[in-house]
Structure 1
Amino acid sequence: MNNPMFTTLVHEQLPIEKLAGQTIARQEGTLTDTGALLIKTGNFTGRSPEDKFLVEDNINIKSVDWNKFNNPIDENSFLQLKDKLIAYLNNKPEIWARNLFACADNRYQLSVRVINENPWSNHFASNMLIEPDADELKSFNAEWLIIQAPNFEANPIIDGTRQKNFTILSFKHKTILIGGSGYTGEIKKAVFTALNFLLPYEHNVLSMHCSANEGANGDTALFFGLSGTGKTTLSADSQRKLIGDDEHGWSNQGVFNFEGGCYAKIINLSAECEPEIFNAIKPGALVENAIQFENSNHIDFSDKSITENTRTSYPLEYIPNAKAPALGGHPQNIFFLACDAYGVLPPISLLTEEQAMFYFINGYTAKIAGTEVGITEPKVTFSACFGAPFLPLHPEFYATLLGKKLKEHKVKVWLVNTGWTAGPYGQGYRISINNTRAMVNAALSGKLDTAHYQEHSIFHLSVPQSCPGLSSQALLNPCDMWSDKNAYDETARKLVELFDKNHQLYNHPQLS
């Protein structure tokens, strides 16, 4: 391993097939009928965003937006915890390591060494980041280090953490420590958090919580949204090349993926509605916290007895039309995905530049059950830039970068409600993925350019009055979907009030 701080046996760069076999033997994983590896992540089946810490140092103390997602921790506590974590791993008979890259654009690529207590966490990292080729491995020099041990727990009184689990980033030491949680998404989002500081602050590159794909004519589209709003599903389109499903940068040259894989929710997954994701669950894919039918190795995708946040990770090339390298041009269309639990937002609206800035800085959605600890049903939330838990800098920093790019490249921006209609959560129903995809495809193909638009009386959004492929054109006007029009107006005004209250935190124009 060429690293003197570890003395245990280390397995490096193992082939997928070998790793899967060892995982089954040592970690009690099981193979599904499709050959994917099914594992359980333990007590944590979602992220714990309030247990993420940034080490205060002369690099970030004045630039970081310190808040409940960016908790400060002193350098001595970080170093003490790092020593404990290393000592813990050195008492293990074996640990697992990989050398990987983040960022498909070589100009901004970050070299990372990932060290894990168990092999399936290491396999997740290999799925989600970019594997070096043989020549790159020979000369690999890791700039950042990630150490993750699910069974190592901190002592909050001594170590300065909030509770026993933690994720800690040090920009000075270029190190990420993760302990007390087996949820693999903590690894992925820790890397994202690091890039959300390094790229905008040091390179003037806009880092984005979005998916991206490319049409036959080379047109790039971005899909912003929190987990569960449809980023992965909508970007996995058989008619378009997939650039990536979750994390991207937008430089002066265009868009690039941060990752080398996808991390898709699979609750209620079906081959009919999401064939690309369904077919990616094969040897090499990792399935988390799903349940198999009794006496069977077939996954019951409807079973949420462990969590609603059942997921699969797989390499980007498992999507047949994935683009390699994962680079795109400047986007022509941007979609803000909002899972509206109130059921009042139109399913698609064309935004003015001012409205685009408003909805980006507010980042409205409903957090989907299971994505974070304690979320058991959709919860109305505002998450700045559609990714507040991962933003070390103030949201205005990212919004300003976006605003400049929208002006420069004259991008069309759409607000898409992937949530409820005909009533709020519990009364109405969720808009089908087929209807959402029809609206997105109409926007991408230019078919909505000639549609007649009507201004929404409460949100003042431009709403198309016709769209090909919808099961019902009435869907376009949510008020028509409610049986009680007065209740709709009252609920819509309530949401506007919540928007404007949240927006007082920022310096962009109000909605009303």
Structure 2
Amino acid sequence: MNSVEIANELKELLNGENIKVQLSVPQLVERATERGEATLTAEGALSAETGKYTGRSPKDKYIVEEESTKDKIDWGNVNRPISAEVFDNLYVKVINYLKEKEELFVFKGYAGADKESQLQIQVINEYAWHNLFCHQLFIRPTKEELAVHNAEFTIVSAPNFKADPAVDGTDSETFIIVSLEKKIILIGGTEYAGEMKKSIFGIMNYLLPENGIFSMHCSANVGEAGDVALFFGLSGTGKTTLSADANRKLIGDDEHGWSNNGVFNIEGGCYAKTINLSAEKEPEIYNAIRFGTVLENVVVDPDSRIPDYDDGSLTENTRAAYPIHFIDNIVMPSVAGHPKTIVFLTADAFGVLPPISKLTKEQAMYHFLSGFTSKLAGTERGVTSPEPVFSTCFGSPFLPLPATRYAEMLGEKIDEHGSQVFLVNTGWTGGEYGVGSRMKLSYTRTMVRAAIDGKLNNVETTQDAIFGLHIPTAVEGVPSEVLDPRAAWADKEAYDQKASFLANLFKENFKKFSNVSEEILKKGGPLA
């Protein structure tokens, strides 16, 4: 099928009598509860379960191999190719399946708060609660904007349509297929709503760099003086906790672009983890769970309808989706200036990385490409001891272009705007996991605030002998012995062995980047 035929099929579907376009939040809540898709909690949030799939299905995600884009994509385990024929056949089946549904729900909105690079999107949903999810997570149009909205990309989501691998050419019943040429994201066989959010992020990670805009998997906030800070980090590193600061306004918590105008949020909402959530630890998220919020796979008492955020029996990946204005201390619209400070967060369970260190541009690019943290025991089934994790650019599952493209853009932005980059270890100190202790959050907050306030830009540093990192010799409010990771270990020889072990893991992981510059290889990574 060509793009015209695809568009005609879509137009016919959207002209059906079963189509409900741009329903309000109360209308979507009503439809979801009446249809038995979800229930209301005591706080008024909509609670839904996703059944078999409680997270993304990366092995069922594909990009259509097309002439106009195939030479740009970084094909491999993340970006898996699939033929146009497979896509076309499944597309027709899904469209015909949806035509027979009693109701379909359509959301029209945007990705990207920067008007100059904003992507107009629409989502066609089989479920009302999925449509509410998209309404809260993406950027919502005004009535005037809706009147002239013309979708550039469309998500077609049919969770109850299951593929037959033997017939349809997929690996399983589930499929998330992106056609960059036909501008369609086709999703089936999974009820996990996060697939829609991350599919649009993947599209933006393709489109933004093509327009000279650096796309980033990070949170961002801004101070009263307009000083912007970015926080990159994988799950468990403290990205959400550290970017939520009463003295600074949140730009966004997960996805951003950095253009010639500055930083902007790609989304219009937040998709926060809720496992072990409490009002004391994370009041912003806790207080955002109200009418209009979508809870995903959170165990709720059937009588009192009170959520139990400590119960991970359905999944540890419990979530809340809500519009960003449910958080009080935010910037609206979600745009700000150029970042003065960039923070890379890592939870080093080996306890050998400094609690904070300054990075040169080459080191920043090296650690950005590495994306290191540790997966801790108990966070996933089968994980009984800390495991090193390297996620390229702190977001490898969502990068359609070669990783070095994003790293080069980071280097260019650092050069252009003089941004200061810091590596912050929120993991262990004084020994590895089981021997040492977790870095005190109060110390980490103090160090991060000092970095953001510019107090560490010109301080005296010492260079770590193994990783080559530049460690501040003093940070007000933090004991000096905490700053030097080797000094914090009672057994210095054990530290040297463990540090060398981690340095070798970095080197081994970095071998997959065959086309990085000599400058990054020589000046970015471990010295020993």
Q: TM-score when scaled to structure 1?
A: 0.93
Shift of 1:369: 8.3
1:12 and 2:27 matched: no
How far apart in 1 are the matches of 2:285 and 2:77? Answer: 33
- Whether the aligned pair in 2 keeps the contact of 1:369 and 1:377 (CA below 8 Å) is yes
Counterpart contact for 1:166–1:179, Cα < 8 Å: yes
* Alpha-carbon distance in 2 for matches of 1:511, 1:238: 36
| Shift in Å, 1:493 | 0.9
- Structure 2: distance between partners of 1:161 and 1:320: 44
Does the Cα contact within 8 Å between 2:349 and 2:376 map onto a contact in 1? no
Per-residue CA distance 1:401-453 (angstroms, 9 max, x = gap):
11111111111001112333344345544435444323211211233346543
Deviation string for 1:315-372 (max 9, x for gaps)? 1111112111111111100011122232322222111112111101111123578999
Counterpart for residue 500 of structure 2: 493
Q: What is the aligned counterpart of 2:48 among 28, 36, 39?
A: 39
1:283-362 to 2 correspondence within 5 Å? Answer: 283-292=291-300, 295-362=303-370
**1:503 equivalent in alignment to 2:510:** yes
- What's the offset of the Cα at 1:156? 1.9
Count of residue pairs brought into register by the alignment = 510
Superposed counterparts of 1:260-299, under 5 Å: 260-292=268-300, 295-299=303-307
Following superposition, the deviation at residue 211 of structure 1 comes to 1.0
Q: Show the counterpart of 2:3.
A: none
Q: How does 1:440-451 map to 2 (within 5 A)?
A: 440-449=448-457, 451=459
Q: Can you list the C-alpha shifts for 1:369-395, whole angstroms capped at 9, x where unaligned?
A: 899998798642212111111111101
Work out which of the residue numbers 38, 50, 68 in structure 1 matches 2:77. Answer: 68
What secondary structure sits across from 1:448 in the alignment? coil
Match of 1:78 among 87, 90, 115: 87
Specify the alignment match of 1:407 in structure 2. Answer: 415
Match of 1:3 in 2: 11
Which residue in 2 is equivalent to 1:467?
A: 475
Could you tell me which amino acid in structure 1 is paired with residue 105 of structure 2?
W
Measured at CA, do residues 451 and 50 of structure 1 come closer, stay the same or move farther in structure 2, by a change above 3 Å?
same
CA distance in 1, matches of 2:223, 2:342: 13
- Is 2:428 the counterpart of 1:436? no
**Cα drift, residue 2 of structure 1:** 8.9
The code of the aligned residue for 1:502 comes to N
Is the aligned partner of 1:177 residue 2:192? Answer: no
* Aligned amino acid, residue 495 of structure 1: L
Q: Distance in 2 between matches of 1:53 and 1:372?
A: 25
Q: Relative to structure 2, which stretch is displaced further, 48-57 or 226-235?
A: 226-235
After superposition, the C-alpha distances for 1:226-260 in whole angstroms (9 at most, x for unaligned) are: 34433333222221111111111111111111110
Q: Deviation string for 1:68-94 (max 9, x for gaps)?
A: 110001111101111111122222211
Match of 1:119 among 128, 135, 138: 128
Preserved contact between residue 146 and residue 175 of structure 1 (Cα < 8 Å):
yes
Q: Which moved more, 1:472-481 or 1:153-162?
A: 472-481
Note the alpha carbon deviations across 1:468-494, whole angstroms, 9 max, x for none. 455x65433333444443332212111
Distance 1:428 1:299, change over 3 A: farther
Q: Select the residue among 456, 461, 464 that pairs with 2:464.
A: 456
| Matched residue type, 2:117 | Y
Alignment match of 1:196 (pick from 205, 229, 242): 205
Sort the Cα spacing of 1:108 and 1:79 in 2 relative to 1 into closer, same or farther, 3 A.
Answer: same
- The residue matched to 1:132 in structure 2 has which SS? coil
1:137 to 141, 146, 149: 146
How many Å separate the matches in 2 of 1:359 and 1:381? 13
SS at match of 2:11: coil
Deviations 1:67-122 (A, max 9, x none): 11100011111011111111222222112110011110111111111011111111
In structure 2, the residue matched to 1:243 is 251
Matched with 1:159 is 168
Stretch of structure 1 that moved more, 406-415 or 220-229: 220-229
Report the alpha carbon displacement of residue 187 of structure 1 after superposing the two structures with TM.
0.7
Aligned mate of 2:34, from 17, 25, 28: 25
More moved, 374-383 vs 270-279:
374-383
Q: Structure 2: which 5+ runs fail to align?
A: 1-8
Q: Letter of the 1:310 partner, please give it.
A: T
Aligned to 1:89: 98
Give distance in 2, aligned partners of 1:329 and 1:457: 36
TM-score normalised to structure 2 length: 0.91
- The aligned amino acid for 1:32 is T
1:394 maps to what in 2? 402
**Aligned equivalents of 1:2 and 1:186: distance in 2?**
21
Letter in 2 for 1:504: K
1:128 aligns with 2:109: no
Amino acid of the structure 2 residue aligned with 1:346: P
Which segments of 5 or more consecutive residues in structure 1 lack a partner in the other structure?
none
Determine if contact 1:47/1:372 at 8 Å carries over to the other structure.
Answer: no
Q: Distance in 2 between matches of 1:372 and 1:401?
A: 33
What is the aligned partner in structure 2 of residue 476 from structure 1? 483
Aligned-partner Cα distance in 1 for 2:326–2:385: 31
Distance 1:467 1:37, change over 3 A: farther
Q: d(CA) in 1 for partners of 2:441 and 2:22?
A: 38
Are the counterparts in 2 of residues 55 and 74 from structure 1 also a CA contact under 8 Å? yes
d(CA) in 2 for partners of 1:486 and 1:208? Answer: 38
1:288 and 1:476, CA in 2 relative to 1: closer, same or farther beyond 3 A?
A: farther
Shift of 1:285: 1.2
Mean Cα displacement is larger for which, 476-485 or 190-199? 476-485
Q: Distance in 2 between matches of 1:159 and 1:435?
A: 54
Q: 1:225 aligns with which of 229, 233, 237?
A: 233
Q: CA deviation at 1:15?
A: 1.7
Partner in structure 2 of residue 381 of structure 1? 389
- The 1:87/1:15 distance shift into structure 2, 3 A limit, reads same
